[in-house]
């Protein structure tokens, strides 16, 4: 077992948003949770993130703030400087934890420090080709078994954990349904509206408007601030209130969701989830216990009627036992140990 006090980890965060994000920013949120969890274990962590990031680790920053928050920042310039700052100092660390997709892998054969890469998702149908190219030079972690690509070799699956102490269990919710996530066809905002209208429930919609055209066409015409209301892109306190107060979270996704933080966060508040049975959903939701896995809008409508049958404590328990920050950090420490040991073996040979 590695001596955690001496382990030196370089944590490479995305720079679209601050770490942790003020509102939206799931990758940055997970990076923050891992980083702070490692520091609590007395691991020496250097976080490479935006300059306005907040961390108890050592912070190194090239980019002044999130590229999604300041449109005057040139993405290519600040991304290049962000990578350079880390990889020019790679020999200072025992392991690099890459949470920035495919581009950092292009440094893998130029340094002598192992790179653990968490694959948060595949941004395009061709991105797996980069992962394939560096398959023997990096160590891949999937965030669900469903998100594994058949052509890649993985060191482990490490589910995201959440800071469960920041999610309040609510045994007495209100009667509204909730959509919580980026507003995009992928996430099924339109389908959530259809379910709310069919059941007569009020629907609250919270999240970043990622696709303006989709919002204007599929969402905005239904907003009346009565049955269907958009409450904006909310921060942590409002997130906790909305998730805990909901009768159910509607997660009617139109893609194979790699994980789905909002699903775990809702369940931490005791709120069951009705989700399309795609991607990682069966790995998080226990059908008929912590929510319902469905295949059509009509099935989702019928599932809403069955929500009172569920024990909200079961949802909370599911997260407490499987999807906490502590569990996630422990798994990553095991991954680092495996990667370092294997890398040293390769160097000796």
Confidence class for position 123, pLDDT limits 50, 70, 90: confident
- State the average pLDDT over residues 50-60: 98
CA 225 to chain centre: 29
How many percent of the chain have pLDDT more than 90? Answer: 94
What secondary structure letter does DSSP report for 209? Answer: B
Of residues 346 and 78, more confidently modeled: 78
Question: How far is it, in rounded angstroms, from Cα 39 to Cα 55?
Answer: 9
Which conformational region is residue 158 in: left (phi greater than 0), alpha (psi within -120 to 50 degrees), or beta?
Answer: beta
* pLDDT value of residue 100: 96
Q: What is the pLDDT of residue 6?
A: 85
pLDDT in tens, 80-103: 999 999 999 999 999 999 999 999
How does DSSP assign 280-325, residue by residue? THHHH--BTTTEEEESSHHHHHHHHHHGGGS-HHHHHHHHHHHSBH
User: For the domain bounded by 164-322, which CATH number is listed?
Assistant: 3.40.50.2000
Phi and psi at residue 228, in whole multiples of 5°? -125, 120
Q: What does the pLDDT read at residue 146?
A: 97
Decide if 8-161+324-348 and 164-322 have a common fold: yes
Phi, psi of 295, rounded to the nearest 5 degrees:
-120, -15
What is residue 347's predicted lDDT score, i.e. its pLDDT?
Answer: 78
pLDDT for the residue numbered 57: 98
pTM: predicted TM-score of the whole model, two decimal places? 0.93
Report domain extents, the chain: 8-161+324-348, 164-322
Tens of pLDDT, residue by residue over 150-198, are 999 999 999 999 999 999 999 999 999 999 999 999 999 999 999 999 9
- Give the integer Cα–Cα distance in Å for 44 and 10: 9
Question: How buried is residue 136: exposed, middle or buried, by Cβ count under 10 Å (0-12/13-18/19+)?
Answer: exposed
pLDDT at 1 over 50: no
For residues 122-137, give the mean pLDDT.
91
CATH architecture observed for domain 8-161+324-348: 3-Layer(aba) Sandwich (3.40)
Beta bridge partners of 59: 47
Q: How far is CA 260 from the centre of its chain?
A: 6
Among 230, 225, 265, 261, which residue's Cα sits nearest to residue 244?
265
Q: What is the mean pLDDT of the chain?
A: 95
Please state, in angstroms and rounded to a whole number, the distance separating the CA atoms of residues 62 and 51: 7
**pLDDT tens readout for residues 218-255:** 999 999 989 999 999 999 999 999 999 999 999 999 99
240 vs 263: CA distance, rounded Å: 13
3-state secondary structure (DSSP) of residue 183? strand
Show the 3-state SS of 28-40: HHHHHHHHHHHHH
Dump pLDDT digits (tens) for 255-305. 999 999 999 999 999 999 999 999 999 999 999 999 999 999 999 999 999
Alpha-carbon span 84 to 62, nearest angstrom: 9
The model's confidence at residue 345, banded by pLDDT at 50, 70 and 90, is confident
Q: Who's near 120: CB < 8 A, 6+ residues apart? A: 26, 27, 30, 99, 101, 143, 258, 259
Give the percent of the chain with pLDDT over 70: 98
């Amino acid at each position: 077992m590695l001596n955690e006090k001496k382990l030196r980890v370089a944590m490479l965060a995305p720079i679209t948003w601050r770490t942790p994000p003020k509102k939206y920013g799931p990758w940055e949120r997970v990076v923050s949770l891992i980083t702070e969890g490692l520091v609590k274990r007395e691991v020496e962590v250097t976080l490479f993130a935006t300059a306005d990031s907040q961390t108890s680790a050592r912070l190194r920053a090239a980019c002044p703030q999130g590229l999604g928050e300041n449109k005057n920042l040139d993405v290519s310039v600040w991304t290049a400087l962000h990578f350079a700052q880390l990889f020019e100092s790679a020999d200072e660390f025992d392991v690099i934890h890459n949470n920035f997709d495919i581009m950092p892998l292009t440094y893998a054969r130029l340094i002598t420090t192992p790179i653990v890469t968490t694959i948060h998702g595949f941004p395009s149908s061709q991105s797996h080709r980069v992962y394939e190219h560096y398959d023997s030079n990096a160590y891949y972690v999937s965030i669900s078994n469903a998100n594994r690509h058949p052509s890649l070799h993985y060191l482990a699956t490490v589910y995201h954990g959440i800071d469960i102490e920041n999610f309040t269990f609510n045994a007495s919710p209100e009667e509204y349904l909730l959509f919580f996530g980026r507003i995009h066809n992928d996430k099924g905002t339109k389908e959530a509206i259809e379910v709310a209208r069919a059941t007569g429930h009020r629907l609250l919609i919270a999240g970043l408007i990622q696709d303006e055209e989709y919002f204007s066409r599929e969402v905005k015409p239904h907003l009346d601030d009565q049955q269907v209301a958009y409450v904006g892109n909310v921060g942590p306190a409002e997130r906790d209130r909305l998730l805990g107060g909901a009768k159910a979270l509607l997660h009617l996704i139109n893609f194979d969701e790699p994980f789905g933080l909002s699903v775990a966060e809702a369940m931490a508040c005791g709120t069951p989830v009705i989700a399309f049975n795609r991607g990682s959903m069966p790995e998080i939701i226990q059908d008929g216990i912590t929510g319902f896995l469905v295949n059509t809008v009509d099935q989702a409508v019928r599932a809403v009627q069955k929500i009172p049958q569920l024990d909200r404590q079961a949802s909370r328990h599911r997260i407490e036992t499987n999807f906490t920050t502590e569990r996630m950090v422990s798994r990553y420490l095991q991954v680092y140990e495996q990667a370092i040991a294997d890398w040293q073996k390769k160097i000796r040979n």
